[in-house]
C-alpha cells in the first residue's frame, strides 16, 4: 500500500466508526516528515479513544503499525504516526482551538468519497 492508499484507508475506517469532519491533506509538497495528514473529530474523549483504537486495529490487519502514538483521550488529541501518514483524532473543541486545516491551508485537500 502506498501512503495515499493508507491515508484513504484511515479516512474510511474513521467514517465507518462515525468520526466527524474527516479531512485528508496532502502535505508532501510542504513537509519533509510525512505525505498525508488525516484529521477527524469525535464528540468525547471516549469516542476519540475508540476511533484511534479502530484505526490501529484495522491497520494491524494490514500489517501497518504506528511508529508512535502521542496524546491521551484526556488531552482531547491523539496523534498516530504511521510514517508517511499522520492520523489526528481530536475532540471538536481541540480541533477548533488548533485549526490545523488553516495551518496547512495552502496544501491540497483530497476529495473523500466515503459513502458506500
Domain of 18: which CATH number?
Answer: 3.30.460.10
The pTM (predicted TM-score) of the whole model is 0.93
Let me know if residue 114 belongs to a domain. Answer: no
Q: Is it the case that residue 81 has pLDDT exceeding 70?
A: yes
Domain that holds residue 50: 3-109
User: Per residue in 25-66, pLDDT tens?
Assistant: 999 999 899 999 999 999 999 999 999 999 999 999 999 999
Residue 115 maps to a domain: no
Backbone phi, then psi, for 100, in 5-degree steps? -60, -35
pLDDT at res. 115:
64
The whole-angstrom separation of Cα 50 and Cα 54 is 6
* pLDDT band (50, 70, 90) for residue 113: confident
Instruction: Give the DSSP letter of residue 64.
Output: -
Residue 116 lies in a domain: no
- Inter-residue contact 1 to 82 (CB < 8 Å): no
Question: What Cα–Cα distance (Å) separates residue 116 from each residue in 12, 35, 69?
Answer: 10, 26, 29
Average pLDDT over residues 5-11: 96
Local structure of 12: helix, strand or coil = helix
| Domain count along the chain | 1
The answer to whether position 74 is within a domain reads yes
Amino acid at each position: 500500500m502506498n501512503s495515499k492508499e493508507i491515508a484513504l484507508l484511515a479516512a474510511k475506517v474513521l467514517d465507518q466508526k462515525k468520526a466527524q469532519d474527516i479531512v485528508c491533506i496532502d502535505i508532501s509538497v510542504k513537509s519533509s516528515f510525512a505525505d498525508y495528514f488525516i484529521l477527524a473529530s469525535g464528540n468525547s474523549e471516549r469516542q476519540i479513544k475508540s476511533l484511534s483504537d479502530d484505526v490501529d486495529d484495522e491497520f494491524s490487519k494490514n500489517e501497518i503499525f504506528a511508529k508512535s502514538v502521542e496524546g491521551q483521550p484526556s488531552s482531547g488529541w491523539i496523534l498516530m504516526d504511521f510514517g508517511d501518514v499522520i492520523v489526528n483524532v481530536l475532540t471538536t473543541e481541540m480541533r477548533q482551538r488548533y485549526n490545523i486545516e488553516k495551518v496547512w491551508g495552502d496544501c491540497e485537500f483530497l476529495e473523500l468519497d466515503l459513502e458506500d
